[in-house]
Amino acid sequence: MSKEQRAKIDAMLRQPRPEGPRTVEEMRAGFKAMMAEMIVPDGIRTAASTLGNRPALLVEPVERPRTGTILYFHGGAYVFGSPETALSLTGNLVAKTGFRAFSLDYRLAPEHPFPAAIEDALSAYRALLDSGEDPATIAFAGDSAGGGITVTTCLAARDAGLPLPAAIVAFSPGLDATRTGESMDTRAGFDPFFTRESLEHTGAMYLAGQDPRQQLLSPALLADLTGFPPMLLQAGTNEVLLDDSTRMAARARAAGVDVILDVTADVPHVFQAFAGVLDEADQALDRAALFIAQHIRTPDTATASAR
């Protein structure tokens, strides 16, 4: 454990911010500046791409690529963020697994509220399938709001009659738009990122008046997870969204879904982004990469399993 590293990151995240609600432009600029400080690993290359009807960032290993695709959904409360702001996460997953990743630039609220992000994610997944990709070689991964999209896109894909991907990996996912988890209150003083008020501010932009009590907005409470692929949910104890993961894990278990709930002590929301400066971040990404590699069915694993 790395008490000094965790304390340093916590202090950085608690630096004073301007009082009062910020404009959408200020939130987007601030998040972009913060995430630009994250360390992107060596051994990857990126290229602009398109998936479905949306731009995407293709992230590939420079050496020893393997057959398999990670479809990644960035975080940012459905209001800010981009494939570039998530590059420390996608880059590490690609470097550690050898699989390529498409990081989707889905539409953002308030210009494009619910369900625009899910529609774009489903369209991107459908495009991969239409290109001939075997769903057994695809994993969904995402952080925060994007972690929520990993789950809701599976729901949308199943409802559309599409085969589901091989696995889901979600870092600190947002899975409850009703904000009724106990951790919203019990972890409030520990969370250096979010308050109930800040989440309700951005949440209102995404909801645009919709009732949050529906499975595509609050899957931790309402989703039928029957037939879902194996799931890895990673979260930290210092985040108000912790119970989004704990309740989703319980719901998955009740539905007969293989699920790993991976909770790290004394780390903040999407702590994995601090890879290279926080030991727990690198270790969590190692576990996530192993989980993906275990579940994506590559030609090598298919041959081995047939022996």
Whether a cis peptide bond, with omega within 30° of 0, leads into 110 is: yes
Residue position matching structure tokens 């989004």: 244
Q: What is the DSSP letter of 13?
A: H
**The token pair that represents 273 in the structure block:** 């982004």
Residues in the chain: 307
User: Is there a catalytic annotation at residue 239?
Assistant: yes
Q: Is 44 helix (H, G, I), strand (E, B) or coil?
A: strand
Q: Judge contact between 130 and 95, C-beta under 8 A.
A: no
Q: Whole-angstrom Cα distance, residue 126 to residue 136?
A: 14
Whether a cis peptide bond, with omega within 30° of 0, leads into 115 is: yes
Q: Whole-angstrom Cα distance, residue 283 to residue 3?
A: 15
Exactly one of 218, 239, 245, 280 is catalytic; which is it?
A: 239
Exactly one of 119, 269, 280, 295 is catalytic; which is it?
A: 269
User: Is there a catalytic annotation at residue 269?
Assistant: yes
Q: Is 230 helix (H, G, I), strand (E, B) or coil?
A: coil
CA dihedral 235, 236, 238, 244 (to 10 degrees): 20
- Classify the phi-psi angles of 106: left when phi > 0, otherwise alpha if psi is within -120 to 50, otherwise beta: beta
Residue position matching structure tokens 């899957």: 219
Edge-to-edge strands, sheet with 44-51: 44-51, 54-61, 100-104, 69-73, 138-143, 167-171, 231-236, 259-264
Q: Phi and psi of 172, rounded to 5°? A: 45, 55
Exactly one of 144, 172, 183, 245 is catalytic; which is it?
A: 144
Residue position matching structure tokens 């192993």: 290
Amino acid at 187: R
Q: Which residues are catalytic?
A: 144, 239, 269
